[in-house]
Structures are given as C-alpha cells and as structure tokens.
Amino acid sequence: MKRVLISLMLTCFVFSSAGCAAGAKTGGTPKYETEYENVTEAEYEDENLSFSLKLPEGWSYKKFEKDDLNSDIVGKMEIYPENDSDFKITINSLSQKIGICGTGVTIKDAEFENGLKAKVYYESFKNEGCTWVLFVFDACDGKLTAESIASDKLLKKYNNDITEIFSTLTVKEYEAQQKKPN
C-alpha cells in the first residue's frame, strides 16, 4: 500500500520537472563541480549533511557549489536520465529548515521502503500540463529537499525510477544522530 501511495505522489512529482521548467526564469545557472555519468551510486557531502543514493542504469548526476542566487542553498545535486534533458530532480542541502506557503499547494506524507519519511508538497498547473513537487525529508530537520517541475508524460515515464531512487536514499548525518545516546 505504501508503495502505491508513494508511486502516486511521485507521479505528481515527475509532472513537476520538465514542462513548466521551460518557462521558468532564473538569474543564472550555477556552475557544477563535477558531472558523473554511468554511475550506480551518487554521493553528496557539505558542512550540514551528507547523503547517498543509488541510480538506475542510464541515470547520472551533477553536484553544484553554493547557489549565489539563493543564500539558503548550501549546495545541491541534480539527478537525471542521461537520454532526456527535459527531466531532472534537484536535491538541495539548505542552511535552515524550509518554509512553504501558498494557495493551491497540496501536502501529503510519504514513507519510503527504507523508512525515510518526507512531506510532499505539490501543485498542478493544468493549463501548462505540469506539476511542481517538493519533497521535504524529515532527515536533517527538513534541511534536505528534492524538487522538480515536469510534464505529465515525463512523470509517467520516470515514476518507477524515482520511487526506486528515493527508496535507496541514505542520509548519513541523520543516521549518526539517531544512534547517539540522549
């Protein structure tokens, strides 16, 4: 049942990654440190947290330095299918817990097979045929997020991959905190 619920939420998530992104305006593109292709495990570490996740065959990732356009972003990683430049998921390490507000945003709880929990915020833009989705992971007190904007077609195409990827996400700092005696 959890897998079905997560798949449904991820379906909304994938909608949020491509179709609307074409119209999004940004102040610039941050430079990435390194691009990794044909890998099975992606790892990230900064002063706030560290995490790793397993990528399916045909997926790659890029790690980015601090975002000069948003001082709350300490660093980020983009994961994406190598053969589809219209789809990506941005995983952000934040300096403080994220706050969300907005009319029309739906909130759901998600729990992945690995026990990791998240709040999922999403909003559909029916006229554009896409959805914005934000996962705020309980690990690291909400300082780890994953965000995307995608068309319905891409959401359906990558739904299973995204479910599998997030089911392998391990937040290393969070695990260490859980094991510390009180």
* Mean of all residue pLDDT scores within the chain: 77
Span 25-80, pLDDT tens digits = 333 444 445 555 666 889 999 888 899 999 988 999 999 877 666 778 888 999 99
Instruction: Kindly list the distances between the CA atom of residue 118 and the CA atoms of 29, 142, 166, in Å, as whole numbers in the listed order.
Output: 28, 9, 10
Cβ-contact 167, 146 below 8 angstroms: no
What residues make up the domain containing 113? 2-24+32-179
More confident residue, 35 or 82: 82
- The residue with greater pLDDT, 6 or 91, is 91
The string of pLDDT tens digits covering residues 109-134 is 999 888 999 999 999 888 888 989 99
The total of structural domains in the chain comes to 1
- What is residue 34's predicted lDDT score, i.e. its pLDDT? 55
